[in-house]
Amino acid sequence: MTGKRTADVDKSIIVPYKPKKLPELSLYSHFEAVVEKLNELLNPEGGISKRKDAWRGYLKLLFLTAASGNNGHGETIQSNQDLSMILDAMLKTKSRTVLIDIINKNGLQMLHNIMMRYRREFIKTPILRKLLKVLEYLAMRDILTLEHISGGPARPGVESFKDSILILTEHGDKQVHQIARNFRDKWIPRHMRKNGCKEMVDGRMEYNPHSSYPKFPVLHDHGSDRKLSKAMVLGNAFCA
């Protein structure tokens, strides 16, 4: 009888706590999966490894992590932490060959897409700052060239990389617009500073985008390394 009563008491204790703890475990498990996958791609200095196809794995991880951050407030915050960690790896990468591979193999397009997507999301402002610092670093290393920066869009009506930078020079966040203006002043020649933006009544610039870049899909699996691995397969077509 005593054993039976103990079992009943245990059930009453466990049930109320389950709904609160499961989401936390899911987010933590996802973070661990991202850390583990990223560590496989890094060298001892924390930069992206020169190992064959490490850059490809990095782009897949960046793409899928950026795609997974819009499912809820908690997941958005977790996505910010993951993205910040992933972008930091690029800032620590010394190899020109690796950085050139990343930029020339859809990396610049991916960073541009993230920049356009996050500029109106207040909660993503820290990522916007970090992304601009990455672009500054790439420009200082001559990885991001004038051709990359000032090249026109893929087709008329599509927002160019240069236009996106110019829009951010009027961003509401002080750090974002300061970094963007510094980038503009250093790497966008004056005669190229006209853009496809239209002036709004309040003096801020806005662009009417018809982007040809692929929109990020929303991924719902954040529970385990195995789920992340399955999601990584979905990125093959984008990063191939």
pLDDT of residue 68: 76
Cβ 145 vs Cβ 95: under 8 Å? no
Q: Are strands 205-206 and 198-199 parallel, antiparallel or unpaired?
A: antiparallel
Beta-bridged to residue 199, according to DSSP, are 205
pLDDT of residue 137: 98
Average pLDDT, the chain: 76
How many Cβ atoms are within 10 Å of 15's Cβ, its own excluded? 9
**Residue-range domain boundaries for the chain:** 2-239
**pLDDT, tens only, 44-59:** 999 999 998 899 999 9
| Tokens coding 29 | 């498990």
Q: How far apart are CA 18 and CA 226, in angstroms?
A: 23
| Tokens coding 3 | 């054993």
Cβ 31 vs Cβ 82: under 8 Å? yes
Query: pTM above 0.85?
Result: no
